[in-house]
Amino acid sequence: MAAIDVTEKAGVYETLSSLNMAFAGIVQHLHTLQKTGPFKPKSAKLFSSLAQELQAEINQDFLEDLHQLELDDWNRFGKVRDARDKELRDPDDVFIQAEERKKELAKQGKKHLRGREAKRKKSSAKR
């Protein structure tokens, strides 16, 4: 499915919703006919199932295409955001991030060393 504008995309979702509401109406009407008219329960169940099967097939087919459309839009609009983030990024951010990472690693190293010391003390106490 080719890229479509936001208004057209909203229209597609609204149309699919209307179609699903129509199928729900068909199923409800069949149920009403079965309860109130000379409509055999077996026939009502069969026609209801056929309608719901068709509904599911239509949904699956359209939603597969819509899913791909949404993934393409997510990718396309994500590139726009990425470009804007790049414009706003301070060139010195790299140095700030490097300093923060260095502090993180130092903390982890201290924790790691403390853990080793605790293990040594436990093993010494056992002896």
Ranges of each domain in the chain = 1-89, 90-127
- Cut 0.85: pTM above it: no
Q: Where are the alpha helices (DSSP H) in the chain?
A: 6-36, 41-88, 93-126
**Per-residue tens of pLDDT for the chain, all 127 residues:** 677 888 999 999 999 999 999 999 999 999 998 888 777 888 889 999 999 999 999 999 999 999 999 999 999 999 988 888 888 877 777 888 888 889 998 888 866 656 666 666 666 666 5
Provide the CA 16 distance to its chain's centre, in angstroms.
Answer: 19
3-state secondary structure of 39: coil
